[in-house]
């Protein structure tokens, strides 16, 4: 990279961090104004609210708006360069437009890689922190809080031929009662297990069953076995028994891949949402690179409207980008639209737009 490359990259990074800081402050002020009463009811200190809530909320909201921050930053500083005739001076030296875009490409790839890493491994723990605080203090009226840590009559599939159920389960203490497993061979019951109590054993990372009765059925023959205590390794964990709409957001990529395999094996109807989440964690970072190229191509031309016109065009493109992604996601979750295509549709459409703008700008 030469001096001009470092010059553009420096403007890119500095403008981006300024946009990130400014818009984050605005988001925090708006959020704080909406939740002041909720925070007051918690009885927590300002430090505790910052560490327990905003340390989870800020990474979540910044990662969500990251492509928008990048796009605004690129349009803003590139438009300023165009209005000062800096881009004309660069291209008049014989530098091709493709060569001019090199610092944009390199910087865009760096930001893309950074957001990809954040989505895979950094954001899930932050989502966990945010969701725990939200569930405890925000989603329910604190002071009239209803205990939702208990689950009744939970039924689910273990695999293609096995079903499990639990009459009562406490998600806080991780124990329950009246647990059963039924395994079928086609339409015939071949195995039944019932336990009076079930509890998660943190030492063995397995389940401990008490007062267990096992029935093995082979045609007209049946074998019954009673066991006082039994240690079992099932393909579900305490987190799988919780009713948590934010579960997929809290899992790192290896955990999400494992969870998808288990849900596919169980025949769960939640698989499409999990696949969509997995694909979005890669598709969203790629959108950073695409929007970088689009922003550079749009704002590099010196026009009468100046930065204001460039920003207006940028806002329209961002709105369309978000609408395409949201509509595709809804059709994937509520209809028969493929989750992979839904996650990547906006990138495909605007990738073609980026290629078209690049070719037009090169002329």
Query: Whole-prediction pTM value?
Result: 0.76
Mean of the pLDDT values across residues 148-163?
78
Residue 208: pLDDT band (50, 70, 90) is very high
Q: Which pLDDT score, from 0 to 100, does residue 305 have?
A: 59
Q: pLDDT digit string (tens) for 50-99?
A: 888 888 889 988 998 899 889 989 988 988 888 888 888 888 888 888 88
Three-state DSSP state, 226: strand
Q: Check if the beta carbon of residue 253 is closer than 8 Å to that of residue 84.
A: no
Higher pLDDT, 345 or 159: 345
Query: Is residue 275's pLDDT more than 60?
Result: yes
Query: Is residue 146's pLDDT more than 50?
Result: no
Q: CA-CA distance, 311 to 321, in Å (whole number)?
A: 15
Q: Which pLDDT score, from 0 to 100, does residue 2 have?
A: 79
* Mean per-residue pLDDT over the chain, rounded: 85
Residue 186: pLDDT band (50, 70, 90) is confident
Backbone angles phi, psi at 171, to 5 degrees: -70, -20
Q: CA-CA distance, 107 to 9, in Å (whole number)?
A: 7
Among residues 251, 280, 258, 260, which one has the least CA distance to residue 127?
Answer: 251
Q: pLDDT digit string (tens) for 99-142?
A: 888 999 999 999 999 999 999 888 998 988 888 888 777 765 44
Here the tokens at position 330 are 């809804």
- Sheet containing 188-201: which strands, arranged edge to edge? 150-157, 162-170, 175-185, 188-201, 206-218, 221-232
Question: Would you state the torsion angle of the CA atoms of residues 115, 119, 122, 124, taken in this order, to the nearest 10 degrees?
Answer: 160
Among residues 158, 151, 195, which one has the least CA distance to residue 173?
Answer: 151
**What are the b/e assignments for 58-69, b being 16+ CB within 10 Å?**
bbbbbbebbbbb
Here the tokens at position 151 are 């689950």
Lowest-confidence segment of 25-34, 239-248, 257-266, 330-339 by average pLDDT: 239-248
């Amino acid at each position: 990279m030469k001096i001009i490359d470092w010059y553009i990259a420096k403007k890119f990074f500095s403008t981006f961090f300024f946009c990130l800081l400014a818009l984050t402050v605005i988001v925090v002020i708006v959020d704080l104004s909406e939740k002041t009463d909720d925070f007051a009811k918690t009885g927590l200190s300002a430090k505790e609210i910052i560490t327990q809530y905003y340390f989870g909320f800020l990474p979540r909201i910044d990662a969500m708006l990251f492509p928008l921050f990048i796009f605004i930053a690129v349009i803003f500083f590139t438009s300023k360069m165009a209005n000062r005739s800096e881009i004309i001076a660069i291209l008049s030296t014989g530098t091709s437009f493709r060569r001019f875009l090199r610092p944009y490409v390199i910087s865009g790839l760096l930001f893309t890689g950074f957001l990809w890493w954040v989505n895979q491994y950094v954001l899930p723990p932050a989502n966990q922190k945010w969701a725990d605080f939200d569930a405890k203090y925000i989603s329910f009226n604190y002071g009239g809080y209803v205990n939702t840590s208990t689950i009744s009559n939970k039924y689910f599939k273990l695999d293609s031929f096995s079903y499990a159920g639990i009459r009562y389960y406490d998600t806080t203490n991780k124990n329950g009662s009246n647990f059963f497993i039924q395994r079928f061979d086609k339409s015939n019951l071949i195995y039944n297990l019932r336990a009076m109590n079930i509890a998660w054993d943190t030492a063995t990372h397995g389940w401990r069953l008490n007062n267990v009765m096992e029935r093995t059925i082979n045609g007209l023959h049946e074998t019954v076995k009673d066991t006082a205590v039994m240690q079992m390794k099932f393909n579900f964990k305490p987190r799988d028994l919780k009713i948590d709409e934010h579960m997929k957001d809290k899992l790192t990529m290896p955990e999400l891949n494992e969870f998808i395999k288990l849900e596919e094996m169980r025949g769960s109807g939640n698989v499409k949402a999990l696949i969509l989440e997995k694909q979005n964690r890669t598709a969203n970072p790629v959108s950073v690179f695409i929007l970088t190229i689009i922003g550079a191509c749009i704002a590099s031309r010196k026009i009468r409207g100046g930065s204001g016109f460039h920003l207006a065009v940028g806002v329209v493109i961002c709105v369309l980008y978000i609408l395409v992604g949201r509509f595709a996601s809804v059709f994937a979750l509520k209809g028969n639209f493929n989750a992979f295509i839904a996650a990547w549709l906006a990138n495909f459409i605007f990738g073609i737009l980026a290629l078209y703008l690049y070719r037009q700008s090169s002329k």
